[in-house]
Chains A and B, each alone.
Chain A
Amino acid sequence: MEILAFIGSAMLFTLFAAFVLFVLINMSSRLALFILFLTPLFFIFLLPGTSIAFLSYRQMLLANGLVPINNFHILLMLWSSLIGIILYTDFLTWYLAKGAKMKTGTANKGKSTEPFADHLKNASSAIKKAKNTLLKRN
Chain B
Amino acid sequence: MPTKKLLPLLSLICILLILIAPASAYGIREEDIWIFQGSYELGIGERAYLEGATIKVHEISTDNEPSATLLIYTNAIFKEAFQVDAGLNNEYIYGGELRIYAIAISQDKVFLEIYKQKTELVWITDIPKTSFKIGDTLTGNDYKISFTAINEDGAVIAVEHNGNNIEGTYKTGDHQKLSDELMINVVYLNTNTKEVFIETLRPGSPDIKIEVANIHNSYDPDESIEYELMVTNNGTIPLHGIIITTECDDGKVEETTQQHSILEPGKQKKFQIRVKPDIEPVDRNTRMISKVQGYDYRGNEYTGEATAQANVKPYISIEKEVYSIEKTSEKPEFGTQQYFHIIITLKNKASFQTAVTVTDELHASFIPKDLENTEWTVVLDAGATKTIEYFASPAEPGDFTFMPAEVVWKDGGETYSLESEEIIQTFRVSGSKVIVEKEVSSSYMLVGEEIVINIRIINEGDKSLEASFMESIPDELTYVEGKDSWKGTLETYQVREFSYVVRAERAGEYYLPETELSITDENGIKKNSVSGTPFLYIDDALVVDDSYFEDNSYIEANDVFYETYDENPTTQSQITRFEAAGFLASSFTTLFLLIAIVPAFIYLYIIRVYKKET
Contacts and interface: CB of A to CB of B under 8 A. Distances in A.
B588 A37 contact: yes
Nearest to A64: B543
Interface string B559-599: 00101111001101101110011001101100110111001
A80 B565 contact: no
A84 to B, nearest CB: 5
B565 A58 contact: yes
Contacts of B561: 56
B599 A56 contact: no
Nearest to B591: A80
A91 B260 CA distance: 150
B603 interface: yes
B77 interface: no
A98 B610 contact: yes
B542 interface: yes
A56 B570 CA distance: 12
A46 to B, nearest CB: 9
B606 interface: yes
A45 B577 contact: yes
A95 B606 contact: yes
A13 interface: no
B577 A44 contact: yes
B596 A51 contact: no
Interface-centre pick from A51, A53, A76 (highest chain B CB count, 10 A): A53
Given A56-B563, A65-B543, A102-B610, A49 B569 contact: yes
B602 interface: yes
Interface-centre pick from A37, A52, A75, A76 (highest chain B CB count, 10 A): A52
B599 A91 contact: yes
Interface string A91-118: 1001100100010000100000001000
Contacts of A83: 588, 591-592, 595-596
A102 B572 CA distance: 60
A87 interface: yes
Given A79-B591, A83-B592, A102-B610, A45 B581 contact: yes
Contacts of A107: 614
Contact of A41 (B575, B581, B610): B581
A70 interface: yes
B307 to A, nearest CB: 92
B577 A80 contact: no
A76 B565 contact: no
B595 A87 contact: yes
Interface in A55-89: 55-58, 65-66, 68, 70, 75-76, 79-80, 83-84, 87-88
Contacts of A55: 580
B580 A79 contact: no
A77 to B, nearest CB: 10
A40 B596 contact: no
Contacts of B614: 107
B600 to A, nearest CB: 9
A53 B588 contact: no
Size range of the chain A interface in the assembly: 35 or more
B563 A58 contact: yes
Contacts of B572: 53, 56
A34 to B, nearest CB: 11
A48 interface: yes
Contact of A56 (B569, B596, B606): B569
Contact of B565 (A45, A56, A79): A56
B592 A51 contact: no
B603 A52 contact: no
Contact of B606 (A40, A65, A70, A98): A98
B584 A57 contact: no
Nearest to B567: A53
Contacts of A76: 587, 591
Contacts of A87: 592, 595-596, 599
Interface in B415-452: none
B486 to A, nearest CB: 42
Nearest to B596: A87
B595 A41 contact: no
Contacts of A95: 606
Interface string B533-571: 000000000110000000000000000010111100110
B599 A70 contact: no
A75 B561 CA distance: 20
Contact of B587 (A49, A79, A102): A79
Contacts of A70: 563
Contact of B585 (A36, A41, A84): A41
B560 to A, nearest CB: 13
Contacts of B580: 44, 48, 51-52, 55
A88 B581 contact: no
Contacts of A94: 603
Contact of A44 (B543, B581, B595): B581
Nearest to B599: A91
A88 B599 contact: yes
A66 B543 CA distance: 8
21 contacts: A37-B585, A40-B584, A41-B584, A48-B576, A51-B580, A52-B575, A53-B565, A53-B569, A57-B565, A58-B563, A70-B563, A76-B587, A80-B591, A80-B594, A80-B595, A83-B592, A87-B595, A87-B599, A90-B599, A91-B603, A107-B614
Given A52-B575, A88-B599, 20 more contacts: A37-B588, A41-B584, A44-B581, A48-B580, A52-B580, A53-B566, A53-B569, A56-B572, A56-B573, A58-B563, A58-B565, A76-B587, A79-B587, A80-B594, A80-B595, A83-B592, A84-B595, A91-B602, A98-B610, A115-B603
Interface of B: 542-543, 561, 563-566, 569-570, 572-573, 575-577, 580-581, 584-585, 587-588, 591-592, 594-596, 599, 602-603, 606, 610, 613-614
- A-B pairs, top 7 by smallest CB distance, nearest first, are A53-B569, A48-B577, A91-B599, A57-B565, A44-B581, A80-B591, A84-B595
Interface of A: 5, 36-37, 40-41, 44-45, 48-53, 55-58, 65-66, 68, 70, 75-76, 79-80, 83-84, 87-88, 90-91, 94-95, 98, 102, 107, 115
